[in-house]
A and B are shown apart, each in its own frame.
Chain A
């Protein structure tokens, strides 16, 4: 009998909890939290505790598959890779490199993401590379980049404990980042005031000191309301504004009209609570903002983020311990995938492709000419397929049929694209459309680094062998590169990491040795002596001066009307993760809940004569789905909520593809729908 205990990082959300796998005779039989890990201290949520359950699932992909008519046929690696190589070369020669797009994955390691974008940029020759960060925190990367000069979480998770005021908005923290919620509870026990701004009365809202129940999509309005109160009552930090920021006067002008009365009308929040909230946030010495998708997934996503940055800067709550503006990232490596440049406009380390000097640097490093055209973003890639501009799509570890907005459109694009490669661990809804499917390894079967939401780069070690012939994503991409005539010969993830850090300044001081020794290193880490950065902007903002971007409130793209009287907001639930491709294969999580529901306010339910458990049809201008009603006090009247995990009643059939103009993020959080009783 062989028993091993292998340290790793949980595969689900961005908290980056340390775990150990209990491996008996080559199979993981249980997972425990690592008590000596600096973030989770041995604690795990239910998803984390059960994160090994899908690893040995019988439906894991074990051999490459090629579509033969309507069926998939098993094949060997050589046949599959040769077909891919032939097709990619053909399409590249006939239509040019920009007719190919690659979608990378926030579930892959940093090393894999680096190679995938390097493959797209140097071998295909296109910047059409993106991943699901486009759907979650693209607006944070853009917005915080514009205001501060860096798009990541400014402070660290453990700093939450000593904050005096914590403003949580657009984040159902206890369900989506449970371990971070634990740090908020620690702060509360020490006397911190908690302010929650949400259209749903979340678990955290119930224990909050102040809860503002806003209408979805009115974020700029309430934040401008806060700013208005803070300026009128002279609660702003004059010294900080003068020394460290620019653009304050313009901000003052814009927020003038956002009086509490006006804001109360727009947001549906009562005036007194708004004023009280603003006062608490501004007068606490250490105020921290924590936010999630409720802020970013709007056509005004970037503006929402800019507004939060305004709020933090006006009160001097950036660049100090226990403060800051803190986006909670969704995947265990979505921060890393962004850092590695799996984005259409950035090389690794947020170095802009548009800057000739930077491009030159990468051309020299990669020894090849690089494409100067900005690539297409995730949602645009599918539009481009429909326009006929994209002829081949390579999707790695993503399931856009479930996770992208307007499912019908995605499906017609996947049907249309002449050549589709999908690389995944299960036969996902998206994989069914592929011409070639490649079986990949999951997190427990490979080694590599992951960057958590607090910029902590950590190593996940290999615990078990992959099923069948599955290979890790970096090996697969290297095989394709070789066949396309490029001599890639990395022997392990560490060697790839060494290449990354030489060209990525924020990672340049990070090594595998240091990561292991200190249980993760938080970037920026610029040299050998540097042990990483706990909080950003300590000695002034990365962009020089922090910039106020005054913004006006704009209505969401769709507003309720007579025909579509309800606002639909979508999101995740505690027991599942994103497209459910992993959690719905996990026995314990599936047992908890395995079907979609729609949360309806009791008053709305009465008006429509609906009972708990009734079947209803939800219709939007894009399509309709059938779901069960769940009546809940916790949701605002006029608003309904549907989780998007469940393919049978996929919430994204209803959502629209209108984008934030800067970050190109779709508005998952607001669309107009109607409810009809189903028989």
Chain B
């Protein structure tokens, strides 16, 4: 049985020599092996997965996305038997921009632990839902951030800290630090600092890191 490939392809423009770099799901053709721009590929995978009945999917994933895939398998969102993947290496400038730990870069910047400062930062939030819609480990069909019980509807900015901290807490030991939430935030909210912080807390206290082979201690029965 043939399998689908999901990754990036160069697509010739309709009118010119332009090559659009676009996500692609296909059985054949040339997939790019090193690419600077990134779409939330795992999100696209989740969108499409529902439509694939028999075939397996071969994913081209970045190092961070591979970790996210592992989390998704652990959380029963992806059937391990139906997928395989190859690694899509990141070019140097993307690695630098992300301060990517999978390429051995340590994030230096620390955001001060000052509630008021964070409150001020999050005043800019426009509830675009980018940090949810682009996050490789957010998969709930019904996200509680759209439940009126937690977050008032029809208003921006959404209430601080409810909206933002629920998002962050759901990332505890699950965030693979891909940085897309920050990179795609129209309001430039450094939500990735908070998710990294909570990740560090989990690591320091439970010795667990997202994407590792172990089971997330938060899911273990006491």
Given contacts A3-B25, A461-B14, A513-B15, contact A593 B154 (CB under 8 A): yes
Complex contact A49–B129 (CB within 8 A): yes
Any A CB within 8 A of the CB of B17: yes
Complex contact A575–B154 (CB within 8 A): yes
State the interface size on chain A (CB cutoff 8 A): 48
B32-76 interface with A by 8 A CB criterion: 37-40, 43-44, 47-48, 51-52
A114 to B85, CA, bound (A): 49
Chain A residues closer than 8 Å to B105, beta-carbon distance: none
Any B CB within 8 A of the CB of A30: yes
Stretch at the interface among B107-115, B160-168, B185-193, B213-221: B185-193
Among the listed A25, A49, A182, A573, which residue makes an inter-chain contact with B187, where contact means beta carbons less than 8 Å apart?
A182
Q: Encode contact with B along A16-43: 1 for CB under 8 Å, 0 otherwise.
A: 0000101011000110110110001011
Stretch at the interface among B119-127, B169-177, B202-210: B119-127
Any A CB within 8 A of the CB of B146: yes
Q: Encode contact with B along A592-603: 1 for CB under 8 Å, 0 otherwise.
A: 110000000000
Complex contact A593–B15 (CB within 8 A): no
Complex contact A517–B18 (CB within 8 A): yes
Given contacts A3-B48, A22-B47, A36-B21, contact A43 B184 (CB under 8 A): yes
A20 to B22, CA, bound (A): 9
Any B CB within 8 A of the CB of A514: yes
Chain A residues closer than 8 Å to B150, beta-carbon distance: none
Complex contact A512–B124 (CB within 8 A): no
Complex contact B40–A32 (CB within 8 A): yes
Among the listed B21, B44, B123, which residue makes an inter-chain contact with A207, where contact means beta carbons less than 8 Å apart?
B123
- Shortest A460–chain B CB gap in Å is 12
A181 to B126, CA, bound (A): 10
Chain A residues closer than 8 Å to B185, beta-carbon distance: 43
- Shortest B190–chain A CB gap in Å is 11
**Chain A: which residue is nearest B121 at the CB level?**
A207
Complex contact A42–B156 (CB within 8 A): no
Any B CB within 8 A of the CB of A558: no
Any A CB within 8 A of the CB of B16: yes
Any A CB within 8 A of the CB of B3: no
A513 to B15, CA, bound (A): 5
Complex contact B37–A203 (CB within 8 A): no
Task: Name, among B14, B134, B157, the residue most crowded by chain A CB atoms within 10 Å (CB to CB).
Answer: B14
Any A CB within 8 A of the CB of B99: no
Complex contact B128–A45 (CB within 8 A): yes
Complex contact A5–B24 (CB within 8 A): yes
Chain A residues closer than 8 Å to B80, beta-carbon distance: none
Given contacts A43-B184, A185-B188, A512-B15, contact A35 B124 (CB under 8 A): no
Among the listed B22, B128, B157, which residue makes an inter-chain contact with A49, where contact means beta carbons less than 8 Å apart?
B128
The 26 sampled A-B contact pairs (Cβ below 8 Å) are: A3-B24, A3-B26, A20-B39, A22-B44, A32-B134, A35-B37, A35-B39, A35-B184, A36-B21, A36-B37, A44-B130, A44-B184, A46-B129, A174-B124, A174-B126, A181-B186, A186-B188, A189-B188, A203-B124, A203-B126, A207-B124, A459-B15, A513-B15, A573-B154, A575-B154, A592-B153
- Beyond contacts A32-B40, A516-B14: 13 other A-B pairs, Cβ-Cβ < 8 A, are A5-B23, A35-B38, A36-B21, A43-B185, A49-B130, A175-B126, A181-B126, A185-B188, A203-B126, A207-B123, A461-B14, A517-B16, A573-B154
